[in-house]
Amino acid sequence: MATKGEYVGLYELQHDLKNVLEGSFPDSVWVKAEISSVSVKGNGHCYLELCQSGPSGIVAKARAIIWKSDYVLLAAMFRDRTGTDLQPGMSVLVNASVSYSELYGLSLIIDDIDPEVTLGQAEMARRETIAKLEAENLLDRQRALEPVPLPYRLAVISAGDAAGYGDFNRHLSGNEYGFAFEVHLFEALMQGQQAPQSIARAIGEAVSSANPFDAILIMRGGGSNLDLACFDDYGLCREISLCPVPVFTAIGHDRDYHVADMVAHTSVKTPTALADEFIECYIAEDERICSFSTRLKLAFAAKVSAMESRISLLSSRIGAADPRNVLSRGYALVTDARGVVLKSCASLEKGDGVGILFSDGRINATVDGKI
């Protein structure tokens, strides 16, 4: 064991690890793994995260890179052989060189992919389902349905004790805005050979309900690819596509995407996200109503302001026409003995009495003569 006085710098340690790892794998190796994430950057390089699962979950992860020079050809080849691009959830067999960087750590540099491993029995069945639905023009049928603006009655298809269903209920009923929903559970098997028929039967029960539902929700909280293979079943996916009520799906997590998601009206990743879909409908309507209130207030304030401006203008005009304001500018008003305003001196004779009105008072005078 080294003492405190005996140490190496981090770079030196990393450099030694690099030499050991790359020296142990001087040649490329074939590695079988599952893609947990994939991203093609603007520079054309493809970055992946590979993983391997065990009985208790993920047991290994590694960063992998396909440089642009290889990715262009590999992606085209893979798409031609499988009919799809590299996607999360796929099992792949890749040929990779081990690379270790003192700065970025371990990476697998991929230079080849064997598409035959990816094209397993389940994937082939999935592709056949898609092809059949596409030939029958059923892939986009659900998206042509117009959802209810404020969906209230929701039919949920799930296992009654599923954690995802519990998460959905808590999130929906506990929303901070207090929006209320009516949720009815139609229990069904959510994995296994009998699951497609069970889910399809639940859809039929929801559609035939005496009191129509605004939406049908199919949810499950994830699982292995084999567990979720039922959601690629042709019969189930056809039932979803032909359903006259909008169908929403929340099947699995980020790496899971199934044909049932493709044919549904709307697909999200988790039951909690599905609850948000419906809460946000009400938030949007609430905001719209609030905007109307704000607009009414602004319009009323503008109307009042315009009326006040008119009143102010009329007041100014009236004030300007007030004789007292005229007299305050140095003018005087002359009346005869009866108090009638005189506009001319033609009617006055010597000795006639007149009144002269100033802004601050009145005086009486006698005509001494006319000029």
Question: What type of residue sits at position 124?
Answer: M
pLDDT of residue 2: 58
pLDDT of residue 255: 55
pLDDT of residue 333: 80
Distant-in-sequence, close-in-space partners of 203: CB < 8 Å, separation ≥ 6: 157, 216, 218, 239, 240, 243, 247
pLDDT of residue 294: 63
Q: Report the distance separating Cα 322 and Cα 198, nearest Å.
A: 91
pLDDT of residue 49: 93
pLDDT of residue 236: 96
pLDDT of residue 18: 86
pLDDT of residue 291: 66
What is the chain's pLDDT, residue by residue, as a tens digit (371 residues)? Answer: 556 668 888 888 888 888 888 888 888 899 999 888 999 999 999 999 999 888 777 899 999 999 999 999 999 998 888 767 888 767 889 999 999 888 888 999 999 999 888 766 567 778 889 999 999 999 999 999 999 989 999 999 999 888 889 999 999 999 988 889 999 999 999 887 788 999 999 999 999 999 999 999 999 876 655 467 789 999 999 999 999 999 999 986 555 578 999 999 999 988 999 999 999 888 888 777 776 666 667 667 778 777 877 888 887 777 666 777 777 777 788 888 888 887 888 788 887 888 888 878 888 888 888 77
Question: What type of residue sits at position 138?
Answer: L
pLDDT of residue 218: 96
pLDDT of residue 134: 94
**8 Å CB contact between 268 and 274:** yes
pLDDT of residue 225: 57
pTM: 0.51
**8 Å CB contact between 155 and 248:** no
Beta bridge partners of 354: 365
**Tell me, what DSSP letter sits at residue 340?**
P
Pairing of strands 153-158, 247-251: unpaired
- Provide the sign of the torsion angle of the four alpha carbons 114, 120, 122, 127, taken in this order: positive
pLDDT of residue 227: 63
Distant-in-sequence, close-in-space partners of 5: CB < 8 Å, separation ≥ 6: none
pLDDT of residue 293: 63
